[in-house]
Structure 1
Amino acid sequence: MTKSKSSGVSMLFILILLGTNAFLLFQMNGKPLSSLFGRGSSLFSPNAQPRAIQPRGNLAEIEMSTIELFKKASPSVVHITSINVRRDRSSSKLYEVPQGTGSGFVWDKQGHIVTNFHVIKGSQKARVTFPDQSTWNASLVGVDPDKDIAVLKIDIREGKLVPLPIGESNNLLVGQSVFAIGNPFGLDQTLTTGVISGLGREIQSVTKRTISDVIQTDAAINPGNSGGPLLDSAGRLIGINTAIYSPTGTQSAGVGFAVPVDTVNFYVPELIKYGKVERPVLGVSIFNDAYLKQLIENKVIDRPEGKGGVLVKSVSPGSGAEEAGIKPTQRQEKGILWGDLIIAINGKEVQTTHDLHKFLDKHRAGDQIKVTLYWQGKERVVTVKLQSR
C-alpha cells in the first residue's frame, strides 16, 4: 500500500470513530449508559449470594519451598535510601533531599550492609530500612567502583541482624532456579523468580572497567532491585543484582545481571579491613590495544604467530616489574626502542589489556606470578611480585 492510500485509510477510520461517538452521545441525550442496553428490573436476582469457596488442598511442594526461602531470606534484605544535604538560600538551614533508592543485604552480625556502588554514588548520607520499617543511619565503610560494590555499616544490636548464607558461583549451571529479593520502584520486599539464563557474561562498571563472570538471569530486575541479593534454591547468596538490559533502560525485559558471589566474597572483606581494595599491579603502564594493532599492521614490531599480547610503555621505579627486568619502551637517538610484549601470565595467554586486568583481579598484592615476555623475536619467563596500587 502506498503512503497516500495508507493516510487515506487512517483518516477514514478516524472519521468513522468520531461519527460513532457523536451518534452514541446524541442517542443517550443525557440518559444513563444502562438505558442503551434496555436494563430492566427483570434482570435482578434478589437471592444472589457469594459463591461457595472451592477447597484447594495443600500447596505444591515447589510453592512451599519458595515461600520458606522467602521467609528465611527476607529479614536479611534492606531498603537503602541515598541522601544529599542542601542549604536553603533564604534561611541558610540545611535540609535533606533523597537522591535515590536501592536494595542491600546483611553481610554479618557486626552491622555491615552490602549494596552496589552506583546505589550510593554521589550521596552524602544513606539510610537503611529493615522489613519491620525500622530505619538506621549508615556509615560508609568502603567502595570498589570497578566491581560496583559498596559496604555500609549500621550501629545495631546483633540479635536483629540475620546475615545471608554465602554460596559459590564457580559451579553454577544454566537452568538453575534463582530468586531475587529487593525494592523495585520502592516496593519493598518484592520477590521475583527465574532461572540462570547465561554465565560468564561481561558488563561495564561505572568506571568503565569490565566486570567478568557475571550471571545473567530472567528473574525480573527493575530499578530499585540494584544491590539486592540473587539467591539459589538453597537460599544462599550467589550474586548481587546490579543491572538490566532493556530497550528503555528503565524496566525489566527478561535480561538481568548479577555480580557473582565469588567476586563479592573476594572484595568485601578487603573493604571491611582497609576501606578500599588493595588491587594488585605489575608496575607497568600499557599501550592501548588499538595502537599496538596499528604498530603490528605497519610491521613496526612483531609478535609470535597466532598470539596476542600487550605492549609495555613504561615500568614504575622500585616495582616488581623493574626487579624482574621487564623492559619499557624508550626513545633513543636512533628512534624508539619498543618494550616487552606481555603474552602470558601463569601460562595463560594474554590477548588484550582486558585479559591482563582480568588475570590480575584474581590475585592479591604480594602474590608472585610468572609473566611470559616477547622481545625482538625471543621469549622469556620472569617472576614478578605484585604490589598494591
Structure 2
Amino acid sequence: MSYANGARRRGVRALGAAGLLIGLLGAAPAVAGPPGGAEPRGGPLLAAWQPASGAGAHWEIQSPGPQARLQDEQNTIDVFQALAPATVFVNQLQRVRDFSMRPLEVPAGAGSGFIWDRRGHIVTNYHVIASGVRGTTYSVTLFNHKTYPARLVGGEPARDIAVLKIDAPASELTPIRVRSGRAPLAVGQKTVAIGNPFGLDHTLTTGVVSALGREIVGFGGITIRDMIQTDASINPGNSGGPLLDSSGYLIGMNTMIYSKTGSSAGIGFAVPVDTITRVVPQIIQYGKVKRAGLGISFVRDEIAASVGIRGVIIESVQRGSPAAGAGLRGLRWARDGSVELGDVILGIDAHAINNYDDLYNALERYQAGDTVTVKLQRDDSLVSVRVTLKTLD
C-alpha cells in the first residue's frame, strides 16, 4: 500500500497523485474494409459503417446521434454530467524556502474529493492530506476550475477519511448524492468512478462491483471492513473520489488499488458509504470521531504474539473509566520486579477478539451507554464482565 506521504505496504496502493504520466501511443493504421468484400457484422456501431465512394479501398464511420446511443451508454453520460460538478481536485502544498530564503509553496501531494454540502465541506481520504509537516496548506479546485484555499476540519485515520472546508459561494457547490435506506449492493452492479488520476481532472471510468465485504488494512493500520472491490479503472490521483451507482448515488470513496506496477490492474477498493455517513458528520461537528470505549491501554499485538497470548492484553486501566468501574485489571509489578499478567480480552458479546484490530472494530458497533459483555482470561479462569461503555476523548 503506497500513500501520498510515501509509506508502503505490500501489494495495495493508495491513490494520491504522484505526477503526470502520459504514454505515447503509435499512430493507428488506417482501417481497411473486410477481406473479400464481406459485409461487417455486429451491433449498431458496425452496422453504421458504409463503404466510401470510389474504389471501395476504405470504409467511413457514421457517428450515431444521441437517439442511437445504447441505454447503458446514455446512463453513463447522465451520471457523469450530474455528478462531475460534485467531484473536486485536492492539492496539498508545503512551504519551503528557495536559495534566497524566500518562502514558496510547492505541491506536495494531490488527490480527489467530493462536495459534501453547500457549506463547503469536502470529503477526501486522510492519506491525501496527511503530511506531518508544519506549514502544510491545502487547496480545492472545483469543476468550474476555480481554486479555493481549504482548511482541515479533521479526520479519522483508522477509516482513511478526512474533511476539508472551503469558503465558496453555495451556488458553485454541487453536493454529492447520498441516499439512506437503499437496497444492499450486489456483485455485478455497475460502478462509476470520477476523479483526477495523474492530475487529469474529472476523468470517468466504469466497471462493476467485483466483490463485497473485503477487509483491507488502511492508512491508520486498522482493518477497514466491508470494503467494496471494483474493476473500474482507478489510478494514482483517484484517492478520495466518489464511486457511484447507476443512479448517481454515492456507494463508496475510492481509496486504494492492488497493483504491482502502481497503475490500475482492475482491482480497486472503496470505503463503503455506510462508513462515510457515520464518520463524516462527527468530523464536521467535533473535528474527530467520538467513539464508545472501555478506557484501557493495551500491550502491542506483536508482544502478545511473541509470548503466545491470543487476545488483547490490558496494560493499564484509566481512572474513572468503564473498565475501572467493572474491575478490569492491567499489568502488575511484582516485588521481585517481574510483571504479572492481568486481564486478557478474548471477546465482546459475540465478537471474538484476537488482537487490537478486532477490539477496535467490535467497539465501533456500539454507542456510549451500551452495555456489553467482556470475556476475559484472568489467571487460569475465563471470566465474563458487564461493562457500560462511555465516550472517550
| Structure 1 unmatched runs, 5+ | 1-45, 298-307
Task: Give the C-alpha shift of residue 229 in structure 1.
Answer: 0.3
In structure 2, the partner of 1:217 is: 230
Paired residue for 1:264, among 273, 276, 289? Answer: 276
Q: Taking structure 1 as reference, are residues 55 and 177 closer, same or farther at Cα in structure 2, changes over 3 Å only? A: closer
SS in 2 for 1:203: strand
In structure 1, the partner of 2:334 is: 332
In structure 2, the partner of 1:54 is: 62
Describe the superposition over 1:113-140 as per-residue Cα deviations: whole angstroms up to 9, x where unpaired. Answer: 1111111222711111112211111111
The percent of aligned pairs where both chains have the same amino acid is 45
**RMSD of aligned residue pairs (Cα, Å):** 2.6
Task: Give the C-alpha shift of residue 270 in structure 1.
Answer: 1.2
SS in 2 for 1:326: coil
Describe the superposition over 1:338-381 as per-residue Cα deviations: whole angstroms up to 9, x where unpaired. Answer: 22232221232223222111112233455443322232324223
Paired residue for 1:281, among 279, 293, 312? Answer: 293
In structure 2, the partner of 1:313 is: 315
Q: Taking structure 1 as reference, are residues 89 and 53 closer, same or farther at Cα in structure 2, changes over 3 Å only? A: closer
Describe the superposition over 1:166-198 as per-residue Cα deviations: whole angstroms up to 9, x where unpaired. Answer: 146992222211110001111111111111112
Paired residue for 1:110, among 111, 119, 122? Answer: 119
In structure 2, the partner of 1:40 is: none
| Structure 2 unmatched runs, 5+ | 1-52
SS in 1 for 2:215: strand
Describe the superposition over 1:174-225 as per-residue Cα deviations: whole angstroms up to 9, x where unpaired. Answer: 2211110001111111111111112222222333222222111111110111
In structure 2, the partner of 1:379 is: 383
1:278/1:364 contact within 8 Å kept: no
In structure 1, the partner of 2:365 is: 362
2:155/2:283 contact within 8 Å kept: yes
Q: Give the letter aligned to residue 95 of structure 2.
A: V
SS in 2 for 1:153: strand
In structure 2, the partner of 1:73 is: 83
In structure 1, the partner of 2:210 is: 197
Q: Taking structure 1 as reference, are residues 336 and 259 closer, same or farther at Cα in structure 2, changes over 3 Å only? A: same
Task: Give the C-alpha shift of residue 55 in structure 1.
Answer: 6.2
2:88/2:114 contact within 8 Å kept: yes
After superposition, residues 18-57 of structure 1 pair within 5 angstroms as 54=62, 56=64
Q: Give the letter aligned to residue 224 of structure 1.
A: G
Task: Give the C-alpha shift of residue 310 in structure 1.
Answer: 2.6
Q: Which has the higher helix share?
A: 1
Q: Give the letter aligned to residue 387 of structure 1.
A: T
1:218/1:255 contact within 8 Å kept: yes
1:170/1:262 contact within 8 Å kept: no
1:320/1:387 contact within 8 Å kept: no
Distance 1:82 1:291 in 2: 37
In structure 2, the partner of 1:36 is: none
In structure 2, the partner of 1:146 is: 158
Q: Give the letter aligned to residue 270 of structure 2.
A: A
Q: Taking structure 1 as reference, are residues 340 and 384 closer, same or farther at Cα in structure 2, changes over 3 Å only? A: farther
Task: Give the C-alpha shift of residue 65 in structure 1.
Answer: 1.2
In structure 1, the partner of 2:40 is: none
Paired residue for 2:259, among 233, 246, 259? Answer: 246
In structure 2, the partner of 1:234 is: 247
Paired residue for 1:101, among 94, 104, 110? Answer: 110
Distance 1:71 1:293 in 2: 52
Query: What TM-score do the two structures reach when normalised by structure 1?
Result: 0.78
Aligned residues: 332
Distance 2:213 2:375 in 1: 26
